[in-house]
Amino acid sequence: MSKEDSLNFIEHIIENDLQQGYSKEDLRFRFPPEPNGYLHIGHASSICLNFGLGEKYNAPVNLRFDDTNPAKEEQEFVDAIKRDIEWLGFSWAEERYASDYFQQLYDWAVEFIKNDKAYVDSQSSDEIARQKGSPNEAGIESPYRNRPVEESLELFEKMKNGEVEEGQHVLRAKIDMASGNMLMRDPVMYRVLHKHHHRTNTDWKIFPMYDWTHGESDYIEQVSHSFCTLEFLPHRELYDWFLDQVYEINKLRPKQREFARRNLSHTVVSKRKLARLVEEGVVSGWDDPRMPTISGLRRRGYTPESIRNFADSIGVGKRENLIDVSHLEFNVREDLNKKATRVMAVLDPVKLILTNYPEGKTEMLEAENNPEDESAGSREIPFSGVLYIEREDFKEEANRKFFRLTLGKEVRLKNAYIIQGESVVKDDDGNITEIHCTYDPESRSGSGTEASMRKVKGTLHWVSAKHALPIEVRLYDRLFSDPAPDTHKDKDFMEFLNPNSLEVITAYGEPGLRNLETEDKVQFQRIGYFTVDRDSTKDKMVFNRTVPLRDSWAKLDKA
């Protein structure tokens, strides 16, 4: 593949501009979140795109908060967004806020009025909407469109000074009520809002609209390429029109270019919808491990690398599509396989007694921490004659395909001995309460004896009953059982919630688990990857299941 072929279409745009006379020093990008919620996995694509370009071209990338809607924005969200971007491993050149530019935007707007490019409209928003027309039919000009400049200036000043009620007047750009692009039909530039803003407090009573703010902010910061998602394609004409009015020669003129939004299956990626899950108490908060937010994924046990690799592997495109969540899970398994310490824990325990093991004896056995990483070393785990194994790992009788424990057959206990099933003890209801086995003392793993080299079909994980640490395990699953819950006509996405997205159990882990710290990552052997939750205390460790070792939905989805 030549260098040309391996570029994505965004890089082609930049390379083309470099050939057409831009210098590398001109390149500057930004990531522009609105602080009205936590970042989600869709934002990760935009972050990796913009900061990735910054790394590739050694160009600055600003973090710009698009904070023009005081009703929905909060400092908590600003802090969370910064924390998440840093955690992903990116650093911004400058931290900027659209609200830093309110004065400049206002001054420009006054110039617009003076130049007959804007006017104060005193109609209600409903009336304005009714006059917009349709794509095939021109809109109707407002009766205020040609009010005297002096009058607009005076009213705009009053709006700014808080002498006007919300909804009484707006400032509109004077463009073209017959434009084929509905967005060009005298768009609103300012509305009156008597709300507290998280940065400007009550200084401003008028707030600029997105279209009027975004391009001008890009221009002020001299951003060369302003990448946004495809729904802004029709806004590009307006972006350019506004720039035309303020552009000064010799300055760099920003370009808006669009790429496709990334959607993930079995969830919703929209801050507004995620906010509903939080507000209605469906999840415990924005960082609930079932949330597709960066902080939810982090708490679930995802690593920054797994999220970056995921974003890079889906890349940027021109068409919207739905990425299956199994692709995200693949990336975290791949990364944790390299990093997670292997430990043993039994989630659904049944007692196993070694009838020929010396009573009261405990021995320490050596276990490798990670076969994928030699430098991870090894540890010692206690072994004794009374153990727990997984209930599903035993059947009294089984066919030849069952490679786990049955009566009369041999299996290996991981890092320990070969055992053979002898008998069971049951309660009055016929449930097995104890499995009695014998062990072969010569067969200890790693002892090098002939008996230890013996081939047996299955290997089971276990914990020593008297040494086992009771732990809380939170088994998380997909939050929605439908692949695209928010695409059904006439049905609310909340109808598709998976009622079994969280199961909390008590399990038994090897005793060393008590020394782990929040966000440490382990593989419970034969089960899955788990991470220590921040709810853990010295007396009770809490583990979140990041992902099972195998994709149990793959079969179901096909069935």
* Active site residue ranges: 34, 261, 271
**Nearer Cβ to ligand ATP (45/384):** 45
Nearest to 541 by CA among 374, 345, 375: 345
According to DSSP, the residues that pair with 421 across neighbouring strands are 407, 437
What is the rounded CA–CA span in Å between residue 15 and residue 112? 35
Pairing relationship of beta strands 170-173 and 255-259 according to DSSP bridges: unpaired
**Nearer Cβ to ligand ATP (260/456):** 260
Q: Is the CB of residue 43 less than 8 Å from the CB of residue 261?
A: no
**Partner whose binding site includes residue 46, from ligand ATP, Mg ion, none (CB under 5 to 8 Å by kind):** ligand ATP
Q: Is the CB of residue 228 less than 8 Å from the CB of residue 211?
A: no
What is the rounded CA–CA span in Å between residue 155 and residue 240? 27
**Min CB(34)–Mg ion separation in Å:** 5
Stretch that binds ligand ATP, among 135-143, 270-278, 417-425, 494-502 (CB under 6 A): 270-278
Contact between 214 and ligand ATP by CB under 6 A: the answer reads no
**Min CB(258)–ligand ATP separation in Å:** 9
Contact between 312 and ligand ATP by CB under 6 A: the answer reads no
Stretch that binds ligand ATP, among 39-47, 287-295, 482-490, 549-557 (CB under 6 A): 39-47
**Partner whose binding site includes residue 187, from ligand ATP, Mg ion, none (CB under 5 to 8 Å by kind):** none
**Min CB(286)–ligand ATP separation in Å:** 12
What is the x/- site pattern for ligand ATP, positions 217-256, by CB under 6 A?
-----------xx---------------------------
**Partner whose binding site includes residue 68, from Mg ion, ligand ATP, none (CB under 5 to 8 Å by kind):** none
SS (H, E, C) 372-399: CCHHHCEEEEEEECEEEEEHHHECCCCC
Nearest to 57 by CA among 13, 99, 118: 13
Pairing relationship of beta strands 378-384 and 362-368 according to DSSP bridges: antiparallel
Q: Is 182 helix (H, G, I), strand (E, B) or coil?
A: helix
**Partner whose binding site includes residue 123, from ligand ATP, Mg ion, none (CB under 5 to 8 Å by kind):** none
The two structure tokens encoding residue 28: 């500057």
Contact pick of 48, 85, 269, 463 for ligand ATP (by CB under 6 A): 269
What is the x/- site pattern for Mg ion, positions 18-57, by CB under 5 A?
----------------x-----------------------
Q: Is the CB of residue 265 less than 8 Å from the CB of residue 30?
A: no
Contact pick of 14, 28, 38, 46 for ligand ATP (by CB under 6 A): 46
What is the rounded CA–CA span in Å between residue 138 and residue 4? 44
What is the x/- site pattern for ligand ATP, positions 53-72, by CB under 6 A?
-------------x------
Q: Is the CB of residue 364 less than 8 Å from the CB of residue 379?
A: no
**Residue nearest ligand ATP by beta-carbon distance:** 42
Contact pick of 14, 27, 28, 32 for ligand ATP (by CB under 6 A): 32
Contact pick of 10, 14, 27, 33 for ligand ATP (by CB under 6 A): 33
Contact between 296 and ligand ATP by CB under 6 A: the answer reads no
According to DSSP, the residues that pair with 188 across neighbouring strands are 172
**Min CB(49)–ligand ATP separation in Å:** 8
CB atoms within 10 A of CB 215: 25
At which residue do the structure tokens 């998280």 appear? 198
What is the rounded CA–CA span in Å between residue 395 and residue 406? 5
DSSP 559: -
What is the rounded CA–CA span in Å between residue 352 and residue 460? 12
Q: Which residues bind ligand ATP (CB under 6 A)?
A: 32-34, 42-43, 45-46, 66, 228-229, 261-262, 269-272
Interface with Mg ion (CB under 5 A)? 34
